[in-house]
Structure formats: structure tokens, C-alpha cells
Chains A and B, each alone.
Chain A
Amino acid sequence: EAQVTQNPRYLITVTGKKLTVTCSQNMNHEYMSWYRQDPGLGLRQIYYSMNVEVTDKGDVPEGYKVSRKEKRNFPLILESPSPNQTSLYFCASSLVIAGVVDTQYFGPGTRLTVL
């Protein structure tokens, strides 16, 4: 089954304790992206990657890191989480056709709480 998976689905942590949220897709998509969803703000893009070893900042990259060492995986790293990073996080992937990102497919989400 074609899908985007994220782990963990739920995480409660404390300020400053490094964490990683994994994202994996089995559709051989070139493009992957991370979003955060906050009430009244919709989805805001954190980072994206057009292909292996190619990453770029989205609209709200501060406090986050990503890496793209393999095509299927795109982990999101919070080196020193803070309470304002409490949010619902979504990973998405897409084909790139003629250099343009196609329709995005989303993972189930990771609800993160930073105390």
C-alpha cells in the first residue's frame, strides 16, 4: 500500500531534550516536506527536500533541522525543543514532474507536546 508513515504518533517531552520524528514514504517520491499545524494558522511549511541531499527552508524553519540521506526517509530533528514547538506535525511527499512538485500525500501526523 502506498503510504507516508510517521513515528512516533504521539510524543510528550521536556524542554531541551533532543528528539527526532521519522518520516518514510514507499512511493519513490522525490519531494518530501514537513509542516506544522496550529489552530487558526492552517499548515505552515518547516522544511522541504526536492531530492536526496537537497533540502531548503520553508516558512517556519527556526528550531528545526532535517536531513535527506535516502530518498524514502526525511527525519525532522528538534535539537533543543521548546514549548512553542508544541504542535501537530505532518510529513508529506510528492512526485516531481518536469521540475515541478505534484500533488502532495500526507502522513497521519505526530502530536508533539513540549513541557
Chain B
Amino acid sequence: GDSVTQMEGPVTLSEEAFLTINCTYTATGYPSLFWYVQYPGEGLQLLLKATKADDKGSNKGFEATYRKETTSFHLEKGSVQVSDSAVYFCALKNSWGKFQFGAGTQVVVTP
């Protein structure tokens, strides 16, 4: 079946550091890929998405590129802020519309 694997956290960084969260997937067909962010005490918010190979999703300084050859969708941000502290979820949506989420990666950014 479909699955999403993302790196375990917590990831602790200093402000202005570079952030990478790895995400790989297994799916049949041509899934869409998503990153969601969950701030403390809140629900999940869509951060960015990509619907086909080589698409790059971007939002709020975050980027991720859909790499079909490596089945990956790694999230990156060049200079993190304390306000980026949150849990980040990688997810896929298969051809039939079923979503599969990764376990989540907690990111802690210190001043």
C-alpha cells in the first residue's frame, strides 16, 4: 500500500539556520504530494503542494520539489525563524484521492 516516511524529530536549529526535512514515499500511479504544518494547539494547515513530477511547491520561504526518480519531496527553508517552530507533515494523495500522512517531524527553532 501507499506510505510516507519522513525523518524523525525533534529537529533543533538556531534562528537563521538552513532547514531540511526529508520525505520519501511509496505509491502506485501518480500521487500528489503535500506538506502540512501544525502549530502548537492548532490543526493542520496546508503549507505547499506539488501535483506532478518536477513541480516545485513554495510558500512562506519553504520549498519542496517532487522528485519521481527518488520518490522524494524534501522540505527546505533557507533561514528559519522562531515562528517556524511547529510539527511538519508530509502527505500524499493517490490517484483515487486517498490521503496518507507521515508521522510528522517536530522542528524547534531557538533564538
Contact = CB atoms under 8 A, between A and B. Distances in A.
Contacts of B42: 108-109
Interface of B: 4, 34, 36, 42-46, 49, 89, 93, 95-99, 101-104
Nearest to A3: B43
Contact of B97 (A90, A101, A105, A107): A101
Interface of A: 4, 31, 33, 35, 40-45, 90, 92, 96, 99-101, 103-109
Contact of B44 (A41, A101, A106): A106
Given A42-B89, A101-B99, A107 B43 contact: yes
Contacts of B46: 103-105
Contact of B102 (A42, A90, A99, A108): A42
A108 B42 CA distance: 5
Given A101-B97, A103-B49, A104-B46, 18 more contacts: A33-B99, A42-B4, A42-B89, A42-B101, A42-B104, A44-B101, A45-B98, A90-B43, A92-B44, A100-B95, A100-B96, A101-B93, A103-B46, A105-B46, A106-B43, A106-B45, A107-B43, A109-B43
A43 B101 contact: yes
Contacts of A33: 99
13 contacts: A33-B99, A42-B102, A42-B104, A43-B101, A90-B43, A99-B97, A100-B97, A101-B93, A103-B34, A103-B46, A105-B46, A106-B45, A107-B43
Nearest to A31: B97
B43 A104 contact: no
B101 to A, nearest CB: 4
Contacts of A99: 97
A41 B6 CA distance: 11
A100 B95 CA distance: 8
A62 B23 CA distance: 29
B103 A108 contact: no
A40 B103 contact: yes
Contacts of B103: 40-42
